Amino acid sequence: MNLTTITTQLHQLKVVPVIALEHAEDILPLADTLAQNGLSVAEITFRSPAAEEAIQLLRQQRPDFLIAAGTVLTSEQVFQAKNAGADFVVTPGFNPKIVQLCQDLGLPIIPGANNPMAIEAALELGIETVKFFPAEASGGVKMIKALLGPYAQLKIMPTGGIGLQNIQDYLAIPNVVACGGSWFVEKKLINDKNWSELGRLTKEVVELVQ
């Protein structure tokens, strides 16, 4: 799967659950809960040691899911993400070494870029889809609109500080393909195996954005 295909899928989904798991096996009931409420996508972050196993489980058991490996910071995590079967990698910032490694491995990457320097570094390497992080703290909708003046070709996935109250403001910008969020996949709810509440929250956001 290439980045163009992934970007198209993200654009259709409009929202990406950013998931931190303590127990890898929780990914399967969580994925089913997401899918039943209209979201067959997951960004599983390397903020927890369970990430690699969770990606692997999801790839094997739910092959139709669009899977991102998130918060990838090291070369080792890139290899783990690829070997586990992630469709693409998402990074919080722009690390040329990590971007180059992903490109060498044929693993699509959406790197973080929230300023002109990072955006130009991404464009230099042929990347036009970036994660805008931390979105609200970096100036939010106003900042994105300002950056799109000189960089009109950018496709953007804002993440950080986004919730029901402002997600539509971001999605109203044509260059925003999808928004990342963790408020509807909170770690406590996952640990408590509260699938009904996770389902309710997912349905709420999907109905809002669609």
CA–CA separation, 38 and 23 (whole Å):
23
- CB 155 within 8 Å of CB 178: no
* Size of the chain in residues: 210
Alpha helices of the chain — where are they, by DSSP H? 3-13, 27-36, 51-61, 75-84, 96-105, 116-124, 140-147, 167-171, 187-191, 195-209
CA–CA separation, 79 and 56 (whole Å):
13
C-alpha distances out from residue 166 to 148, 150, 159, 192, 210, Å: 19, 24, 12, 27, 15
CA–CA separation, 106 and 129 (whole Å):
16
CA–CA separation, 120 and 133 (whole Å):
16
- Active-site residue flag, 14: no
* 146-170 CB burial, b ≥16 within 10 A, e <16: ebbeebeebbbbbbbebeeebbebb
Which member of 14, 43, 52, 155 is catalytic?
43
Which member of 14, 52, 131, 155 is catalytic?
131
- Active-site residue flag, 131: yes
Residues serving a catalytic function are 43, 131
